Amino acid sequence: MGINAIFDSRNWVAVPFHFWSVVFFVFGSMVGSFLNVCIHRMPIGESIVRPPSHCPHCKYSIPWFLNIPLVTWLYLSGKCANCGAPISIRYFLVELLTGLVFLSCWLFYGSQSAMLALVYCLFLAGLIAATFIDFEHFIIPDEITIGGIAVGIFCSFIVPAMHHTKSIPDSMKQSFVGALVGGGLIYGILRLGKLAFGRQKLELQADTKILFTETSIILPGQELLYEDLFYRDSDVIKLVAAKVELTDRCYRDVNVRLTPVKLQIGEDVLATNDVPYLEVVTNEVVLPREAMGLGDVKFMAAIGAFLGWQAVIFSLVVSSILGSIVGVSLIAFKKQAWSSRLPYGPYIALAAAIWLFGGMHFVQWWVARYLH
């Protein structure tokens, strides 16, 4: 039996529609269990295959009968069966969310094509993993973004209906254009944002001491990691120092510029790796700042590869609105400062999901009503 026969709608309708609803929910919760592994391991560079699932506290290898999605977490009351350490509710929520998302895909697209529903399930699983990783680590791994671009283009070849056509060449064209528009548009916004808002000036009290370590800059009341400040080699931390102390020398009343690769103190230029300790006294420091990162660029390109350029424009507009609402609300309730970082990937993901579950039809209705 060929793949076309397997996904022939006439074969699927031979079984009651809501039997498949249950199957999609159960299958989704199982995929959610795997996504939990990806969410935990990808950001720290661990294999998602080995070792098998285990407790992060006592390293207890979890047997299959204690690794049943949803059921096990509830049965164990969110605790490890071996050591009793708490297991984050995130594991349960990701499994439940993925199950509900897969069920929604089937209910929304199953009557059109089982293959289309499965492809969108795959796409949404990537959005879920990216969302939880970005919330926790402020990154979206290349396995999800670059991998998503490749998978989106491949799926456009085998399921042209993703782009509302039966023609494979048309579907592939829509996928390539979507990826280019998604990546190019967000990269352009990133570059413009860097020019307009790429610096943050911090006013400090007179004679404030700032310590530069091998991994971070320590200011009064806060520590900023270099990995959160330096996006490219040209990014720079600038200040005018009343006093500069190294391990072997001292300067007074000099300009200081620190990049990922070099430190300039007055006229002297040193390799950053050769300066393990630096202390300065100043009343002002200018830090590099990013509106978004390259991960968001690649993430939007992946969305374009799956959904096309129209979804990219929709996701950009809606994610900006969602992010602004959440950011302003957090500031209003004093949960976050104006200068705090806010992950943008989750709002892109939510906007793309909205497009998939009705946003596309809303835009089509709006265009037909107001632009024709």
**Structural domain count of the chain:** 3
Q: Is residue 153 part of a domain?
A: no
The owner of tokens 């050769």 is 274
Q: Is residue 87 part of a domain?
A: yes
Q: Is residue 152 part of a domain?
A: no
Q: What is the extent of the structural domain holding 342?
A: 165-196+293-372
Burial 144-180 (b: 16+ CB within 10 A, else e): bbeebbebbbebbeebbebbeeeeeeebbebbbbbbe
- Residue 127 in contact with residue 352, Cβ under 8 Å? yes
The residue with greater pLDDT, 196 or 186, is 186
The residue with greater pLDDT, 370 or 177, is 177
The pLDDT mean for the chain works out to: 86
Q: Is residue 146 part of a domain?
A: no
Q: Is residue 155 part of a domain?
A: no
Q: Do both 71 and 89 map to the same domain? A: yes
Say what the pLDDT of residue 335 is: 66
Q: Do both 336 and 281 map to the same domain? A: no
Q: Do both 179 and 326 map to the same domain? A: yes
Of 255, 288, 321, at which residue does a domain stop? 288
Q: Is residue 149 part of a domain?
A: no
The residue with greater pLDDT, 51 or 107, is 107
Q: Sorting pLDDT into bands at 50, 70 and 90, what band is 224?
A: confident
Q: Do both 180 and 237 map to the same domain? A: no
Contacts of residue 74, defined as CB under 8 A and 6 or more positions apart, other chains included, come to 92
Mean pLDDT to the nearest integer, 221-231: 77
Mean pLDDT to the nearest integer, 201-217: 87
Q: Do both 314 and 362 map to the same domain? A: yes
Mean pLDDT to the nearest integer, 64-74: 87
Q: Is residue 154 part of a domain?
A: no
32-57 per-position pLDDT tens digit: 999 999 999 998 888 888 888 878 77
Geometric angle at alpha carbon 103, from 97 and 109, rounded to 5°: 130
| Bond preceding residue 51 cis, omega within 30 of 0 | yes
Q: Do both 28 and 83 map to the same domain? A: yes
Q: Do both 28 and 98 map to the same domain? A: yes
Q: Sorting pLDDT into bands at 50, 70 and 90, what band is 260?
A: confident
Q: Do both 328 and 355 map to the same domain? A: yes
Say what the pLDDT of residue 1 is: 47
Mean pLDDT to the nearest integer, 233-243: 87
The DSSP bridge pattern shows strands 250-258 and 222-225 to be: unpaired
Contacts of residue 316, defined as CB under 8 A and 6 or more positions apart, other chains included, come to 185, 186, 189, 300, 348, 351
The residue with greater pLDDT, 335 or 234, is 234
Give strand pairing partners of 251: 244
Contacts of residue 308, defined as CB under 8 A and 6 or more positions apart, other chains included, come to 163, 174, 175, 177, 178
Amino acid at 136: E
Angstrom distance (rounded) from CA 156 to CA 126? 16
Q: Do both 128 and 1 map to the same domain? A: yes
Of 288, 312, 337, at which residue does a domain stop? 288
Q: Is residue 274 part of a domain?
A: yes
What distance lies between CA 242 and its chain's CA centroid?
41
Of 255, 273, 288, at which residue does a domain stop? 288
Q: Do both 227 and 317 map to the same domain? A: no
Mean pLDDT to the nearest integer, 308-326: 92
Q: Do both 361 and 315 map to the same domain? A: yes
Among 79-93, 123-137, 189-203, name the one with the lowest average pLDDT: 189-203
276-311 per-position pLDDT tens digit: 889 999 999 988 876 667 788 999 999 999 999 999
pLDDT at 129 over 90: yes
134-190 per-position pLDDT tens digit: 988 888 999 999 999 999 999 999 999 999 999 999 999 999 999 999 999 888 887
Q: Do both 2 and 130 map to the same domain? A: yes
Say what the pLDDT of residue 279 is: 92
Among 22-31, 42-51, 176-185, 338-347, name the one with the lowest average pLDDT: 338-347
